[in-house]
Chain A
Amino acid sequence: MSLVRNPKDVLSGLLFIALAALFAWQGLELPFGTSGRMGPGYFPMVLSGTLGLLGLIVLVNGLRTQGEAPSSIAWRALIILIGSIVFFGFAMRPLGFLPALAISVFASTLASQKFRLQSAIINTVVMTVFCWAVFIKGLGLPLQIIGPWLGGY
């Protein structure tokens, strides 16, 4: 029997401790103050300490009790979807609303194992037209349709 009996708890414990350490490290440079006059660093430090402690409890629980391992990660969906979202953020200004949206929607359809080119293209066209009608025409969001890289202004 290995030392790690409940991988989910051990991993979450480690994640909480790591995040607590990150916040504590960031909070170190903030003035702490006194309990009567708390500085900007007081409450964050208290919270980081609490989070670290709770993380430790979760970690120890994970070493003591039995539990199942997390199911495998959906790498394909994760990478493609996050990629499409980041691309959308990046492309909004240089390319403009329509190209950014169309490319992101098309790219995100690739995340499914049931991807089929024909339905993906139809989906992309329908979504782009629909979003243009709702958000630009209907709600009048002030977004540039075509960006400067593609000859917009």
Chain B
Amino acid sequence: MELLSNLELGFSVALSFQNLFYCFIGVLLGTLIGVLPGLGPVATIAMLLPITFGLPPVSALIMLAGIYYGAQYGGSTTAILINLPGESSSVVTALDGHQMAKKGRAGAALAIAALGSFFAGTVATFLLALFAPPLANLALQFGPAEYFSLMVLGLIASVTLASGSIVKALAMIVLGLLLGLSGQDIYTGTPRFTFDMQELADGFDFVAVAMGMFGIGEIIRNLEDEHQRSLVAAKVKSLLLTKDEFKASIAPVLRGTAIGSVLGILPGGGAMLSSFASYSIEKKVSKTPKEFGKGAIAGVAGPESANNAGAQTSFIPMLTLGIPSNPVMALMIGALIIQGITPGPNVVTEKPDLFWGIIASMWVGNAMLVLLNLPLIGMWVRLLTVPYHLLFPAIIAFCCIGVYSVNNNAFDVYSMALFGVLGYALVKLDCEPAPMLLGFVIGPMLEEYLRRAMLISRGDPMVFLTRPISASLLILAAIALVVVLLPSVQKTREEAFKE
């Protein structure tokens, strides 16, 4: 069995002392930032990118991945205990989870969230191991036209990630693409959008853009309104589930895992979308839909499994195609490029230890989270009492040091400040920064494939429609666009994002 020997290779990498250590640091940090509102995985991973320079690629990726799925766990802990979702993906968990906590079942809600997540993580890890290699093989046959269409599909689909206006999200993507093009033109070396500045010869630094938009902009936003967080944490008595609760959770966990696995693979999917979808489905299939919002355990079990499955399977397009499906994956690609690895279908064959090591480490990391988090819940809750006005100067310091150390260059610090202002302005105008960051990463690739495809076809744009794979991808993109623009879907979207 090739799969088994591959997994064996993966576990031998993931279980090495060094990688276990970085996995542990990753999930610990992830939980920490998941617990703290106002600091998300994107900003954290961006801050840590420079630190990963010195690490071997596998360890770096294992740690960064740990932050991502660790954040899902941490976010749900605070959602349940104090009705304050630390992450966007645990917004729906707060609905029923906190109601359970009010009824004295906080322990049960936390336990099912952890166990459901662990189950979903295990399944998603196997799916990743099973489907990623054939997908990579398929991708090896892709020409420039297919890649172009795939990226268009990914970008269009990511619009579903944005809350609010679709047109604004599309505009943000295009803005990101444009910013991504700054620097030297790959074919002619002509400087573009450099505004005659030497420092922009290689374009804006990715870390500076990500930290500015997600880190600095967010801090300014949080300082607008410094109300005291009144924290009444629910007491956690017993983590044991009753028989009835266990029975009521099995089906939602299975459904959540399935939904999350599928939505995670789709470009634009990931943890948040999965949890929203799972919650609404559980509410629909439930025999007692009135219980939802009043402490239904299915409303915790489903979305928690779904968001973890989605977080895991969103690695599939990143690892096999080199295309990010959400901003966190965009940062992972940034990390790979910094390490001198070109993300794409070749990673599976050329760097099997990296590929399988990451996959195996996800399972290891999920196991760590269950063991780590249930006993440490009390500590996480206490952490929440650290006031924000003591916290944000630390974030500023980390951002400054991090972005400076990428190139030992003050210019990157100034760019971060600039993008901080831009990010703040855009958030104030209800324009989500996530699609822009995706566009920023994809911009250069998109242009390269477009130019190559058009060169081969001698300038005939029909090439994108005459090649079957490319055409189907573009049709999917068109369908996705039409669907989100349908009035009925727009209404449900608004409801889903209203929280």
Residues of A bordering B, CB below 8 Å: 8-9, 11-12, 15-16, 19, 23, 26-27, 30-31, 34-44, 47-48, 50-51, 54-55, 57-58, 61, 70-74, 76-78, 81-82, 84-86, 88-90, 92-93, 101, 104-105, 108-109, 111-115, 119, 123-124, 127, 131, 135, 139-143
Contact = CB atoms under 8 A, between A and B. Distances in A.
A50 B223 contact: no
Contacts of A127: 393-394, 397
B171 A55 contact: yes
Given A85-B420, A123-B393, A90 B220 contact: no
A64 B287 CA distance: 43
A112 B410 contact: no
A43 B397 contact: no
B193 A40 contact: no
Contact of B454 (A23, A36, A54): A36
Chain A at the B interface: SS class: helix
A15 B429 contact: yes
A99 B220 CA distance: 24
A46 to B, nearest CB: 9
Interface string B170-188: 1100110110010001011
B188 to A, nearest CB: 5
23 contacts: A9-B165, A9-B429, A11-B429, A12-B430, A36-B454, A36-B460, A37-B455, A44-B193, A58-B168, A70-B428, A73-B428, A77-B223, A85-B216, A85-B400, A85-B416, A89-B414, A104-B396, A109-B393, A112-B226, A113-B226, A114-B226, A115-B389, A131-B398
Chain B at the A interface: SS class: helix
A13 to B, nearest CB: 9
B148 to A, nearest CB: 11
Contacts of B188: 31, 39-40
Interface string B155-168: 00000000001011
Contacts of B167: 54, 57-58, 61
Contacts of A78: 220, 421, 424
A43 B410 contact: no
A47 B135 CA distance: 31
B165 A92 contact: no
B187 A71 contact: no
A54 B171 contact: yes
Contacts of B413: 85-86, 88-89, 92
Contacts of B405: 135, 141, 143
Given A48-B178, A74-B224, A142 B408 contact: yes
B392 A112 contact: yes
A52 to B, nearest CB: 9
Interface string B447-458: 100110011011
A35 B219 contact: no
Interface string B390-423: 1011101111110011001011111011001100
Interface of B: 51, 54, 165, 167-168, 170-171, 174-175, 177-178, 181, 185, 187-188, 190, 192-193, 195, 216, 219-221, 223-224, 226, 387-390, 392-394, 396-401, 404-405, 408, 410-414, 416-417, 420-421, 424-426, 428-431, 447, 450-451, 454-455, 457-461
A43 B408 contact: no
A114 B429 CA distance: 26
A108 B414 contact: no
A86 B396 contact: no
B404 A71 contact: no
B397 A101 contact: yes
Contacts of B175: 16, 19, 51
A69 to B, nearest CB: 10
Contacts, number: 193
Given A26-B193, A85-B413, A44 B178 contact: yes
B414 A111 contact: no
A51 to B, nearest CB: 4
Nearest to B387: A114
Nearest to A57: B167
A48 B182 CA distance: 13
A84 to B, nearest CB: 6
Contacts of B168: 9, 12, 58
A101 B393 CA distance: 11
Q: 6 closest pairs, A vs B, by CB?
A: A36-B459, A89-B413, A40-B185, A77-B223, A112-B389, A89-B410
A81 B178 contact: no
Contacts of B389: 109, 112, 114-115
B187 A104 contact: no
B178 A23 contact: yes
A104 B403 CA distance: 14
B405 to A, nearest CB: 5
A74 B220 CA distance: 7
B404 A89 contact: yes
A16 to B, nearest CB: 5
A92 B459 CA distance: 50
A81 B192 contact: no
Contacts of B170: 54
B152 to A, nearest CB: 12
A108 B426 contact: no
Contacts of B412: 89
Contact of A36 (B394, B404, B430, B458): B458
Given A71-B428, A86-B417, A89-B413, 8 more contacts: A37-B459, A40-B187, A47-B178, A58-B167, A70-B429, A89-B417, A108-B393, A123-B393
Contacts of A70: 428-429
B226 A88 contact: no
